[in-house]
Amino acid sequence: MCIGDGAQARACTVRQVLDRIGGKWSIGIVVEASQGPVRFTELERRLDGISRRMLTLTLRNLERDGLLERTVYPTVPPKVEYTATPMAAELYETLVTLTNWAERHRDEIATARAEYDARESTVPAG
Amino acid sequence: MCIGDGAQARACTVRQVLDRIGGKWSIGIVVEASQGPVRFTELERRLDGISRRMLTLTLRNLERDGLLERTVYPTVPPKVEYTATPMAAELYETLVTLTNWAERHRDEIATARAEYDARESTVPAG
DNA sequence: CAGAATCCACTCGGATACTG
DNA sequence: CAGTATCCGAGTGGATTCTG
């Protein structure tokens, strides 16, 4: 997949990254786990609004892609810790450039939206 | 939204960007439109597998966010051109860092997946 | 040519209840 | 504590048909 080095090939590569971190909670989890080991319930508290189901699913996917490491302590009650791998930390570094872009153009986007919505709701009646 | 400057605030900002470009076809369209003006049917051909419906929807969203400019030539038959705005071009520049990350870790991710899948399919009956 | 409209399948994600 | 299992609604996206 993503053959050649044309424009669409690069677009394809970007898409693969987005498939990995595009989920609603992925980024938030990676960020938390980048600060150090976090436990399941701790994540549940810090990611406001996440359901148990989605937390589990997202954790599994991130673990599968090698972005998170899962450590089980065979104690009673059970204790499981999640830590971001170096690869994940590096990923978040590159996401910072995205944040910068978003902050630079925040107003521009808001304006564009407002103008678009105003245009669309106004039937150009003449 | 995205209040404060903590880790989750930055994660929130990233999410907003992803909401904008996370769609299945958004990146591909931005890439094509960055090379110069493109027409509707031209995009339909270049984005292999896209449906008319999704092309229209994605174009509208990108236009609404100010990433694409839509120019209508009142001719018969109609002619409409889409061009990436400077803001969109700048966005794609930052996405290149993502591509680099993906290429650096392509093998690492593949390996992680293979190992994970091998582990999961093997019941540790032990 | 550049769409708008309609129908449908599938996935994402939330709510809830149960368990080792 | 750290999940798993089940149900359900909403949104995403494909296929097809119709039109100025």
DSSP A64-103: HTTSEEEEEE--SS-EEEEEE-HHHHHHHHHHHHHHHHHH
pLDDT of residue A123: 55
CATH architecture of A6-121: Orthogonal Bundle (1.10)
pLDDT of residue B56: 97
Question: Which three-class secondary structure state does DSSP give residue B114?
Answer: helix
Mean pLDDT of chain B: 91
On the question of pLDDT at A125 being above 50, the answer is: no
From CA B4, how far away is CA B8, in angstroms rounded?
Answer: 9
CA of A120 to C1' of C14 (A): 32
Residues 6+ apart with CB under 8 A from B103: A13
Which nucleotides on chain D have any atom < 7 A from a protein Cβ? 1-6, 12-17, 20
From CA A90, how far away is CA A69, in angstroms rounded?
Answer: 15
CA of A36 to C1' of D2 (A): 19
What are the φ/ψ torsions at residue B69 (nearest 5 degrees)? Answer: -110, 135
Q: Domain residue spans in chain B?
A: 6-121
Instruction: Give mean pLDDT, residues A21-37.
Output: 95
pLDDT of residue A3: 82
On the question of pLDDT at B126 being above 50, the answer is: no
User: Tens digit of pLDDT for each residue in B43-61?
Assistant: 999 999 999 999 999 999 9
Instruction: Give mean pLDDT, residues A31-52.
Output: 95
Strand B38-39 relative to strand B68-73, pairing: unpaired
Residue nearest to nucleotide C3 (CA to C1'): B56
From CA A44, how far away is CA A42, in angstroms rounded?
Answer: 5
Q: With a 7 Å cutoff on the CB, does B71 touch strand C?
A: no
Q: With a 7 Å cutoff on the CB, does B78 touch strand D?
A: yes
